[in-house]
Amino acid sequence: MITIGIVIFPDVEELDFIAPFEVLSYINKIQPNSTNILLVAPSLEPIQAFNGLRVLPDVTFVNCPKLDILLFPGGKGRTKWMKEPSVQTLIQVQQENLRFLASVCTGAFFLAEAGLLKGKKATTYHSAFDELSRYEITVIPSKIVRDGSIVTAGGVSSGLELGFYLLRELFGVSLAQEVATKIEYSIDVGLL
């Protein structure tokens, strides 16, 4: 089973984490026990996302188990949380075991702030390209950009494509396509 941690924080953008959550968990309906998705937060208190959705975390930054994938969504709250020492510690603790470190939209700034994107290629929300490039990153205007084991996804809706990209890498093209068919999503064949 692949264990995936999706970081959530106050004012996180809902679709940034819900889209990959849906795609990466849907595979369990086809091939049971493929993924275990954990919502990772500063505490176990409910998190209020940017548009008002309230979400209950599964684990905290401190008690998070070893993960295969660590994913950072973006949103207005990222400006505060990307600089929090507890987030940087989470990344450091998890980094050596990860198969993939990923982000959606402005979640790329969590990776940039940790120094993990310096000299690499990445993407983010279109209006934040210039800001991201200030971290000495080559910004590529694309839905998905992979540089080694780091995968970044562009704007808010690109969390869907990120989910399918990761499914393809973990479980192969046919299972990723089957998930896309089941949720009635037309995936860009270039991603598969």
**Residues noted as catalytic:** 105
The dihedrals phi and psi of 182, each to the nearest 5 degrees, come to: -65, -35
The alpha carbon of residue 98 and the mean position of all alpha carbons in its chain are separated, in whole angstroms, by: 13
Bridge partners (DSSP) listed for residue 5:
38, 70
CA separation for the pair 119, 109 (Å, rounded): 14
Identify the three-state secondary structure at position 105.
helix
Using only the alpha carbons of the chain, give its radius of gyration: 15
Q: Which regions of the chain does DSSP assign to beta strands (E)?
A: 2-7, 35-41, 47-48, 54-55, 59-60, 69-72, 100-104, 121-122, 138-139, 144-147, 150-153
What DSSP string runs through 150-189?
EEEE-STTHHHHHHHHHHHHHH-HHHHHHHHHHTT----T
The SS3 of residue 12 is coil
Residue 138, strand partner residues: 121
